Chain A
Amino acid sequence: MRLPLLVTITLVAAVTAIFEDQVGKFDWRKPLIGCPARVHFDKIGSKSDRLLISTEQSVLASLVLNTGNIGWRRIMETPEEESTSGLVFTKDKEYIYSISSDGRSARVWRKQDGVLVRQLTISEEKSSVQSIHVAHGKLHVASGKTLIVFRLGDEKPLETLVSKKQRIYSEFFEHDDTLLHVSVFAGETELEIVKINDNGSFESPKHSKLDSFNAEKCYHQAQYISCIQGSQIQIIDVFTQKVYKFSADFPIQSVIGAGKLILARGAQKVEVLEVTPENGVQVRKSLDLKPSEAVGITENHESVIITSPDAIRVVFVNSNTHFSAKRGDQTDQKSTKIMENSIPKTIFARKNEKDWEIVLVGDDCRVEFVTVDDTSKFVNLEWAREESLINTVSVEMVDLPLSESQQMIEDEFEEEGQQNIIAAFFRRIHSQFGQLCRHIQRSVEKIIYVVTSISRDGNGVSDFINSVRSAGQMSSAASGPFERDYFNLRKVIIVVTSSGTVFGIDSADGQYLWKLWLGETFSPLDSQLDHKRVPLFVQRTTAHYQLDGLASVVFSNKNTHNGIIVSFNPMIGKVESRNELGFPIKRLSLLPGHTHKHVFPVMLIGKNDQIKIFPSITPEELHGSTSSLHLLDLQKEGVQGLKVDISSQNIQPVWQGNLGLTPDDEIVAVKGKSFNQKVHSQGRVLVTREVQYKYVNPNLAAIASINKANQHLTITLVDIVTGQVVHSAAIGKAAKPIHLVHSENWIAYSYWSDKGRRTELGIIELYEGTEEQHTQKELFDSKVGQKLPPVVTQQSYIYAQGVDAMSVSETEQGLTTRSLLLAHPSGNIHEVSRRLLDANRPMELTQAMREEMMIGYMPEIAVATEEMINYNQTVHRVRGIKTSPSGLESTSLVLAYGTDLFFTRLVPSGTFDILKDDFDHVLISLVLTGLVVGSYVTKRLARSNALASQWS
């Protein structure tokens, strides 16, 4: 009995896997490292230059300096508190030494490939005050209270010193073979300076008194600590314990330095200071600059780098000379692509024999590597990485506009019935002539492509076939990005990040089409469930070919906390409008009705229930669609349902309650249904040939809450309009992480079962029963009471992996069996068909059920590597998976975002509506010609045969 069952499962599974030669054909991955916090220039061996970077997302990576590609990348534990300082690390010739797991351990990595060599324990106490230094064949680490010395190549500590108090500052200084550890304890303004001897032992500490100390306002370099106090700067030489003071005539914003030079930056001025024992602090140079310019210092040369949005200036400290190079990138000037970048925030620069190598890190986490030399006029942009994508929070996929020929067809039927028959005839002829011209043009392009590729690649038969095949794909990739392809598989992916950037990405190859920078005052919205939220709405799709598409992002002003809404064209990223509201935003929603310009307005509700609608909608336009909107509002205690009257702009609570939740219950997820989701079939055919109708309530919200006291997970299904609890289920001994998916008439959820020590997946399906309850099947009305409560079937399955994110596939008509996508912490994305995660899998299979291809219940949903949609292209720390329908019913487009971005096409039930991509056109044409030739030859043969037999 097991065998046929297994066979069916393997059959289902086999459909999902891809062939090896399909790798990269319709998927792409963008590995990311995050926003750099610490950057070191480095060399591996004698030639290959690398950049060693630790980022705000606790990733340690080595980038190839020439290309900007990731040499290797290690993803560490996420720190408990969010910090922007990145992992603390140091390096020597062969290894990198980093402090991780909240300052509790040090790891030694091989520089070349990022392999862990050793793992050293510092202490069990967590601390964010860390420093590390390698010198004299020893590794010195300070973290929190602990100061510890290891001999290189040894895992046992040589010396340990634990102080009684917590440190708030800690740094190592080395000068002329003397090594010092300087620290400041909490609540003190005294520096404690400990000398570390060559054998690793500590000398008794010396103390140096300061007026005040704020670790965040201090910068350390070679032998100095320089701290800002308003317009004054305090410089401490840690070796002589002398304190120098310098007063500028402007408030100092930041201080940086290298070697002997210290740069004190004000809003409009930079002072280059130098400290000498004889003369104290001296101003070497004063530079004027604009507030938008960033200042950096070359680490191995006495020169200052000043970058503005359009130029880079290099100023020599020693002489009076300087030179500047224009930043205008040559390639970007040619195209009209909108690429808005923020101004650089931090500059890391180094001089080699010929030129300056500069790494610029912007507020938008764009990492740019440029070189300048004193002769060239232009800045040479070597590469740039858009690292803000690691903070992706909202994703939408927008169709490309109709192609010219599709537009012509639309044109043809646009004014139908208004003109006479002859005009219509001419229009038809005109549009068909246009189509013909277009087709000829395309064919010529293809032929040229084939000819050039043959002359390039060689002249074998297989080359020829390959180039003919690729010509078909070429046409879609090369002819401008703004045209819909035949199956509408190519889209523009709009990605919004919590760093304040918006990207338009071509789904065909992952190229950036445009980029928007939302400004320095950008701050994401806060919400109760997920902290950073930057909602993105597609207000007008590109289906209206006379009108451009329109999309909007909503965020808040960092300073005033008022809401800002920015509308833009999703195809080219051109900003249409930017409006700042007079109030902070509490919640927001897209209205179901559209204006006469086909724009779906966004409704923004402020903290004091102010309502603003963008763009404004007249009551006439609203007529026909709903005039009020029902919202679910989570409050500290309980939940309430709100009714928003759009025309009179007033909000009133309709119902209020706690849904049976106690104060111990913490709401972890709320999922409604998107109002444009399509449910293809209204029912499910049972084995008994009866139809079970689905309970498809568009107003249904699923609320998952977990009880802290007794570890009960409660799933409550509530009708938002009436507040009626449709169903409630409780699961004992459950724990986070909890993920919830709500689609059609079912809710799938995952949770960690403490009892079974495993992840479990649950599914709830709602049916109205075998009788139709609604006379009007197209419309569901929550206010019409139902005769019977919905029939609920539910089932739980064991799942052998953890779940980071959960999503469901989306197709155009909703006809294809849906698949659930589960992201594992190990970086895989697993596709589970709804046929397996089904609440109606029978415990015992009868013959009739087997004929219906039903799969019997098995407690476990197996995880096979073949079912990973991202095969070995792992995606770590997935925060969300966005699915979007394509023009083909079988195909769903998927973008998973986390530490990496991964895009692919998903075929949950196989590609049933197009030919297989390995369909052999050559063989079928060969056979056809063979048949024709064969019949001709046999005709001849038959004739001669007949003649011969007549003679005989």
Chain B
Amino acid sequence: MWSINLVFLLSSLTILCGATEELSRTEQTSTLFSVEGEIALPASRNCAKWSAGARVHLNHGQHVGFVRQDCTFRVDFVPSGTYIVQIENTDFVFEPIRVDITSKGKMRARKLTILQPNNVNTLPYPLRLSSRGPARYFRKREEWRVTDMLFSPMVLMLVIPLVVMLILPKMTANDPELKREMENMQMPKVDMPDVGEMMANFFGGGPAPTKKKAVTGGAGQRRK
């Protein structure tokens, strides 16, 4: 099992390779450490697949590590100092973490507040980075919706004249009083059908007998 206990390179190597004298001597002067951590993905994602495209950056690529298939990572040979740990991948957005390594190899992880670098908001070490959410790269296309379609200016242009021309006369036909009122109201709009007819004649291109126009005009007058 991979233990999440903090194991410095220093101690680990001296314990494991204690047999070799020379090695342990070099290890005592060692100033290089390892940064370890774990990545938490949303439950739906399998880490074994995702980690093929992921890397861990310390200070924007100064040190690079890879993510193992169990979502853990270890960046080796890091000298003491302060580092920003970031996860490179294309699927998720991760919050970066700041890690301080003292010259003795003591680790301290804290939340990276880029605006106020002196703010201390300690996080547990070994690091645990969880994704903030999937990375969105695209704008959403407007989906086709009935209301959008109906309220689009072009459709309104089609529908409103239709309503005015077809439905309003029908409605007024049942109510003679309203009808009269409407006709009085529409007095100044006497030219309206003329314009429509003119357009129809123009587009229809057919014979536009002026006689009929006169008849319509006459009808209108007679109704009055």
Asked if A and B bind, the verdict is: yes
- A positions within 8 Å CB-CB of B: 14, 17-21, 23, 72, 74-77, 101, 104-105, 107, 110, 113-119, 121, 123-125, 146, 156-157, 160-162, 164, 755-759, 798, 800-804, 824-827, 859-860, 865-866, 868, 871-872, 874, 918, 923-924, 927, 930-932, 934-936, 938-939, 941-943, 945-947, 949-950
Residues from chain B with Cβ under 8 Å of A161 in the complex:
20
Residues from chain A with Cβ under 8 Å of B158 in the complex:
927, 930-931, 934
**Would A115 and B48 count as touching, CB distance under 8 A?**
yes
User: Cα distance A924–B155 when bound, in Å?
Assistant: 10
6 contacts between A and B (CB under 8 A): A76-B64, A105-B77, A113-B49, A923-B154, A934-B158, A939-B200
**Would B60 and A801 count as touching, CB distance under 8 A?**
yes
The 7 closest A-B pairs by CB, nearest first: A802-B60, A939-B200, A825-B61, A871-B137, A826-B88, A872-B90, A20-B138
Q: How far is the CB of B137 from chain A (nearest CB, A)?
A: 4
Contacts A757-B82, A874-B90 hold; do A859 and B138 have CB atoms under 8 A apart? Answer: no
Residues from chain A with Cβ under 8 Å of B49 in the complex:
113, 115
Q: How far is the CB of B194 from chain A (nearest CB, A)?
A: 10
Specify which of B16, B30, B199 is in contact with A124 (CB 8 Å cutoff): B30
Check: B191 CB closer than 8 A to any chain A CB: no
Check: B197 CB closer than 8 A to any chain A CB: yes
**Would A116 and B66 count as touching, CB distance under 8 A?**
yes
The interface centre, meaning the residue of B9, B61, B136 with most chain A CB atoms within 10 A of its CB, is: B61
Q: For chain A, what secondary structure do more than half of its interface residues adopt (helix, strand, loop), or is it mixed? A: mixed
Q: How far is the CB of B212 from chain A (nearest CB, A)?
A: 6
User: Cα distance A931–B157 when bound, in Å?
Assistant: 8
**Would A827 and B223 count as touching, CB distance under 8 A?**
no
Residues from chain A with Cβ under 8 Å of B90 in the complex:
827, 872, 874
**Would B69 and A865 count as touching, CB distance under 8 A?**
no
Residues from chain B with Cβ under 8 Å of A113 in the complex:
49, 52
User: Cα distance A931–B153 when bound, in Å?
Assistant: 13
**Would B141 and A943 count as touching, CB distance under 8 A?**
no
Instruction: Give B19's nearest chain A residue, CB to CB.
Output: A160
Check: B114 CB closer than 8 A to any chain A CB: yes
User: Cα distance A21–B30 when bound, in Å?
Assistant: 53
**Would B138 and A19 count as touching, CB distance under 8 A?**
yes
Q: How far is the CB of A871 from chain B (nearest CB, A)?
A: 4
User: Cα distance A123–B52 when bound, in Å?
Assistant: 26
**Would A859 and B69 count as touching, CB distance under 8 A?**
no
Residues from chain B with Cβ under 8 Å of A872 in the complex:
90-91, 135, 137
Contacts A116-B51, A949-B219 hold; do A865 and B135 have CB atoms under 8 A apart? Answer: yes
Check: B74 CB closer than 8 A to any chain A CB: yes
Contacts A160-B17, A160-B23, A756-B117 hold; do A935 and B66 have CB atoms under 8 A apart? Answer: no
Contacts A162-B22, A826-B86 hold; do A868 and B60 have CB atoms under 8 A apart? Answer: no
The interface centre, meaning the residue of A804, A859, A930 with most chain B CB atoms within 10 A of its CB, is: A930
Check: B124 CB closer than 8 A to any chain A CB: no
Contacts A19-B139, A859-B115 hold; do A924 and B154 have CB atoms under 8 A apart? Answer: yes
**Would B155 and A927 count as touching, CB distance under 8 A?**
yes
Q: How far is the CB of B53 from chain A (nearest CB, A)?
A: 8
Q: How far is the CB of A106 from chain B (nearest CB, A)?
A: 11
**Would B219 and A939 count as touching, CB distance under 8 A?**
no
**Would A939 and B201 count as touching, CB distance under 8 A?**
yes
Specify which of B27, B69, B139 is in contact with A116 (CB 8 Å cutoff): B69
Contacts A936-B200, A936-B203 hold; do A121 and B13 have CB atoms under 8 A apart? Answer: yes
Instruction: Give B133's nearest chain A residue, CB to CB.
Output: A865
Instruction: Give A870's nearest chain B residue, CB to CB.
Output: B137
Instruction: Give A858's nearest chain B residue, CB to CB.
Output: B115
Check: B193 CB closer than 8 A to any chain A CB: yes
**Would B169 and A945 count as touching, CB distance under 8 A?**
yes
**Would A871 and B138 count as touching, CB distance under 8 A?**
yes
Q: Considering the complex, which residues of chain B in the window 161-183 have a beta carbon less than 8 Å from any beta carbon of chain A?
A: 161-162, 165-166, 169
**Would B216 and A946 count as touching, CB distance under 8 A?**
yes
The interface centre, meaning the residue of A798, A825, A931 with most chain B CB atoms within 10 A of its CB, is: A825
Check: B41 CB closer than 8 A to any chain A CB: no
Contacts A116-B66, A157-B16, A941-B165 hold; do A827 and B88 have CB atoms under 8 A apart? Answer: yes
Specify which of B65, B199, B216 is in contact with A935 (CB 8 Å cutoff): B199
Specify which of B76, B88, B137, B196 is in contact with A939 (CB 8 Å cutoff): B196
Cβ proximity bits B135-161 to A, threshold 8 Å, 1 near / 0 not: 111111100000000000011011001
**Would B22 and A119 count as touching, CB distance under 8 A?**
no
Instruction: Give A158's nearest chain B residue, CB to CB.
Output: B16
User: Cα distance A14–B139 when bound, in Å?
Assistant: 7
Residues from chain A with Cβ under 8 Å of B138 in the complex:
17-20, 23, 866, 871
Cβ proximity bits B187-211 to A, threshold 8 Å, 1 near / 0 not: 0000001001101110110000000
- Interface residue tally on B, bucketed by range: 35 or more
Check: B11 CB closer than 8 A to any chain A CB: no
Instruction: Give B153's nearest chain A residue, CB to CB.
Output: A927
Residues from chain A with Cβ under 8 Å of B67 in the complex:
116
**Would A918 and B136 count as touching, CB distance under 8 A?**
no
Contacts A157-B16, A160-B23 hold; do A118 and B136 have CB atoms under 8 A apart? Answer: no
Cβ proximity bits B65-93 to A, threshold 8 Å, 1 near / 0 not: 11111000010110000101010101101
Contacts A14-B139, A162-B23, A946-B215 hold; do A941 and B68 have CB atoms under 8 A apart? Answer: no
Residues from chain B with Cβ under 8 Å of A759 in the complex:
60
Instruction: Give A864's nearest chain B residue, CB to CB.
Output: B136
Specify which of B27, B96, B137, B200 is in contact with A868 (CB 8 Å cutoff): B137
Instruction: Give A105's nearest chain B residue, CB to CB.
Output: B76
Contacts A116-B51, A860-B115, A946-B216 hold; do A927 and B157 have CB atoms under 8 A apart? Answer: yes
Instruction: Give B13's nearest chain A residue, CB to CB.
Output: A121
Residues from chain B with Cβ under 8 Å of A949 in the complex:
219, 223
User: Cα distance A526–B9 when bound, in Å?
Assistant: 41
Contacts A825-B57, A866-B138 hold; do A946 and B219 have CB atoms under 8 A apart? Answer: yes
Residues from chain A with Cβ under 8 Å of B23 in the complex:
123, 146, 160, 162
**Would A119 and B68 count as touching, CB distance under 8 A?**
yes
Q: How far is the CB of B131 from chain A (nearest CB, A)?
A: 12
User: Cα distance A284–B47 when bound, in Å?
Assistant: 54
Instruction: Give A756's nearest chain B residue, CB to CB.
Output: B117
User: Cα distance A72–B57 when bound, in Å?
Assistant: 20
Q: How far is the CB of B138 from chain A (nearest CB, A)?
A: 4
Check: B129 CB closer than 8 A to any chain A CB: no
**Would B64 and A866 count as touching, CB distance under 8 A?**
no
User: Cα distance A23–B138 when bound, in Å?
Assistant: 9
User: Cα distance A736–B155 when bound, in Å?
Assistant: 59
Cβ proximity bits B12-44 to A, threshold 8 Å, 1 near / 0 not: 010011011011001100101000000000000
**Would B66 and A121 count as touching, CB distance under 8 A?**
no
User: Cα distance A21–B201 when bound, in Å?
Assistant: 44
Q: How far is the CB of A199 from chain B (nearest CB, A)?
A: 14
Check: B102 CB closer than 8 A to any chain A CB: no
Instruction: Give A945's nearest chain B residue, CB to CB.
Output: B169
Specify which of B84, B135, B199 is in contact with A757 (CB 8 Å cutoff): B84
Check: B184 CB closer than 8 A to any chain A CB: no
User: Cα distance A123–B68 when bound, in Å?
Assistant: 20
Given contact pairs A21-B141, A74-B66, A918-B141, a sample of 16 additional A-B residue pairs in the complex whose CB atoms are under 8 Å apart: A17-B137, A104-B77, A110-B69, A115-B48, A115-B68, A124-B30, A124-B32, A757-B84, A798-B115, A826-B55, A865-B93, A866-B138, A931-B158, A934-B158, A935-B200, A938-B166
User: Cα distance A21–B143 when bound, in Å?
Assistant: 13
Specify which of A758, A874, A924, A935 is in contact with B196 (CB 8 Å cutoff): A935
Check: B59 CB closer than 8 A to any chain A CB: yes
Specify which of B59, B68, B114, B193 is in contact with A802 (CB 8 Å cutoff): B59
User: Cα distance A872–B89 when bound, in Å?
Assistant: 9
**Would B52 and A160 count as touching, CB distance under 8 A?**
no
Residues from chain B with Cβ under 8 Å of A756 in the complex:
114, 117
Q: How far is the CB of A941 from chain B (nearest CB, A)?
A: 7
Residues from chain B with Cβ under 8 Å of A860 in the complex:
114-115
Residues from chain B with Cβ under 8 Å of A76 in the complex:
64
User: Cα distance A941–B32 when bound, in Å?
Assistant: 91
**Would A938 and B139 count as touching, CB distance under 8 A?**
no
Specify which of A121, A865, A936 is in contact with B9 (CB 8 Å cutoff): A121
Q: How far is the CB of A435 from chain B (nearest CB, A)?
A: 31
